[in-house]
Amino acid sequence: MTIAIVGGTGPQGSGIGLRLALAGEEVILGSRDADKARAEADRLTAEHSPEGRLSGTGNAEAAERAETVILAVPYRGHDELVTALAPVLAGKLVISCVNPLSFDKLGPVGAEIPDKSAAEEAARILTASTVAGAFHHLSAVTLHWVDHDLSHEDVLVCGDDTAAKAEVMRLAGKVTGGRAIDVGALRLARHLEPFTAVLISVNKRYKTNASVSLTGIRKE
Amino acid sequence: MTIAIVGGTGPQGSGIGLRLALAGEEVILGSRDADKARAEADRLTAEHSPEGRLSGTGNAEAAERAETVILAVPYRGHDELVTALAPVLAGKLVISCVNPLSFDKLGPVGAEIPDKSAAEEAARILTASTVAGAFHHLSAVTLHWVDHDLSHEDVLVCGDDTAAKAEVMRLAGKVTGGRAIDVGALRLARHLEPFTAVLISVNKRYKTNASVSLTGIRKE
């Protein structure tokens, strides 16, 4: 099974792709600039020699060649990009980790968007795909510190398709080595996405790379 | 110093009040029905013999007699209640743990409200008070299990007044025995409050009482 990362040269996308490849998955980084994606895949491969093959190409070709597609793009231009990719995403599992945020002198805050969350926006557009939300709270910094244990961080997964969520949770385990939590309906993405603004604010105050763990759920 | 809990006979309000009294703070539970507040305070006192005095009275009198006031009411009627209490809250620290939520067949979800969060709504009305947000994610159930250790749960605190937040964080330590985290500006309450919908959804799926811990911040 091949996983494409649309926006795979951004820090979060490349970090998730790298962790998946290290865990043995075949990963294609996508970018608007196919050469940039190839260079990033080559760089990560040379540096980390992942067990899974890591390659790079344009966003559309990456999505076309994969069974599962992770959207890891900035929110700006999200609607247009997802609309353009809709034909190649048809029939596939699409995992959104897009965080629509605004920044001003008070710091980060969730952006108000028409569909309330990027994941719901993608689901509205991608009527022939199955959309889930996940990976919003993983730090791009610590994803790239490949020796940094992420297994104490919980990946919160939302979606309306149970089988799709099971696959997302499997991949989440590959990324962090820890657990994923099925938080419920896709629309809860509207609360997961802007919680990233809270984490970024905490990062600045505490000079760290914070993420989330839920208490009260037994570790397996 | 005396702490009033407006809405102190609800499960969350009485649980926070009980934990504060057990930690030695003087607490007044407020309710629309003063007799009900007295009965709840008497019941908790008889059952737990807290070190701090725990009493009950009407919401306005409770707020009047305290230096710090915790708002622990349901969101319905919040605007009117806060407006009515504004004179007795003037000059005081007001901590909102109000969670505006909706429930339908898909489960819980954050309610869309004009001021974006209950804490911001309170701050708009209470121009002579200092408003902070905290305690949104503590489970009313486990607050009442007084032998249940809450010290691994983080109280996320938001506000625009640094001295006020320091006092909120001190009280949070009394409630949980653990740490509080200053997440930043008051407006981040719009992300903290609806995250409770995520926790309630998780509670139903995992049959638990989930709360939040942030990773990446050194435990003291």
Look at residue A168 in the predicted model and tell me its pLDDT.
Answer: 98
Query: At A210, is the pLDDT very low, low, confident or very high (cuts 50, 70, 90)?
Result: very high
Nearest by Cα to A182 from A197, A172, A163, A169: A169
d(CA A152, CA A195): 18
What's the CA angle centered on A207, arms A205 and A213, to 5 degrees?
85
Look at residue B26 in the predicted model and tell me its pLDDT.
Answer: 98
Judged by DSSP in three states, A107 sits in strand
Under 8 Å CB-to-CB from A95, ≥6 apart: which residues?
A: A68, A69, A70, A71, A131, A132, A133, A134, A135, A168, A171
Mean pLDDT of all residues in A184-189: 98
One-letter amino acid for residue A160 of the chain:
D
B144 interfaces chain A, CB cutoff of 8 Å: no
Under 8 Å CB-to-CB from A38, ≥6 apart: which residues?
A: A55, A56, A57
Whether A215 contacts B152, CB under 8 Å? yes
Mean pLDDT of all residues in B143-169: 97
Alpha helices per DSSP H over B90-208: 118-125, 140-144, 162-176, 189-206
| Best residue of B113, B139, B188 to probe chain A, by most A CBs closer than 10 Å | B188
Mean pLDDT of all residues in A69-83: 98
Cα nearest neighbour of A183 on chain B:
B202
B58-86 per-position pLDDT tens digit: 999 999 999 999 999 999 999 999 999 99
Mean pLDDT for chain A?
97
| Lookup: tokens for B208 | 């638990």
Contacts of A214 in chain B (CB under 8 A): 199, 202, 210-213
Query: At A187, is the pLDDT very low, low, confident or very high (cuts 50, 70, 90)?
Result: very high
DSSP strand E in chain B: where?
2-6, 26-31, 54-58, 68-71, 93-96, 101-104, 107-110, 130-133, 155-159, 180-184, 211-215
| Best residue of B162, B183, B200 to probe chain A, by most A CBs closer than 10 Å | B183
Beta strand pairing call for A107-110 and A68-71? unpaired
How large is the greatest C-alpha to C-alpha distance in chain B, in angstroms? 46
Mean pLDDT of all residues in A106-115: 98
Q: Answer yes or no: is pLDDT of B135 > 60.
A: yes
Nearest by Cα to A60 from A21, A40, A90, A17: A90
Look at residue B219 in the predicted model and tell me its pLDDT.
Answer: 67
CA distance readout (Å), B51 to A114, B13, B67, B129:
51, 18, 19, 29
Count of other CB atoms within 10 angstroms of residue B170: 10
Q: What is the pTM of this model?
A: 0.97
d(CA A4, CA A65): 8
Q: How far is B137 from chain A (nearest CA, A)?
A: 10
Mean pLDDT of all residues in B185-208: 98
| Best residue of A187, A198, A199, A212 to probe chain B, by most B CBs closer than 10 Å | A198
d(CA A155, CA B130): 35
Mean pLDDT of all residues in B3-19: 98
B199 interfaces chain A, CB cutoff of 8 Å: yes
User: Alpha-carbon Rg of chain B, whole angstroms?
Assistant: 16
A190 interfaces chain B, CB cutoff of 8 Å: yes
Q: Answer yes or no: is pLDDT of A220 > 80.
A: no
Q: Answer yes or no: is pLDDT of B220 > 80.
A: no
Interchain pair A209, B216: CB under 8 A: yes
| Best residue of A191, A196, A219 to probe chain B, by most B CBs closer than 10 Å | A191
Q: All domains of chain A, ordered by start, with CATH?
A: 2-206 (3.40.50.720)
Interchain pair B107, A182: CB under 8 A: no
A44 interfaces chain B, CB cutoff of 8 Å: no
Look at residue A219 in the predicted model and tell me its pLDDT.
Answer: 66
Interchain pair B109, A190: CB under 8 A: yes
Contacts of A215 in chain B (CB under 8 A): 152-153, 210-213
Whether A22 contacts A15, CB under 8 Å? no
A113 interfaces chain B, CB cutoff of 8 Å: no
Interchain pair B139, A216: CB under 8 A: yes
d(CA B193, CA A54): 40
Whether A23 contacts A51, CB under 8 Å? yes
Interchain pair B153, A211: CB under 8 A: no
Interchain pair A215, B213: CB under 8 A: yes
Nearest by CB: A215 against B152, B182, B201: B152
Q: What percent of chain B has pLDDT over 90?
A: 98
Torsional sign, CA B184, B188, B191, B195:
positive
Mean pLDDT of all residues in B143-172: 97
B22-53 per-position pLDDT tens digit: 999 999 999 999 999 999 999 999 999 999 99
Nearest by CB: B212 against A110, A206, A214: A214
B178-196 per-position pLDDT tens digit: 999 999 999 999 999 999 9
Mean pLDDT of all residues in A58-71: 98
Mean pLDDT for chain B?
97
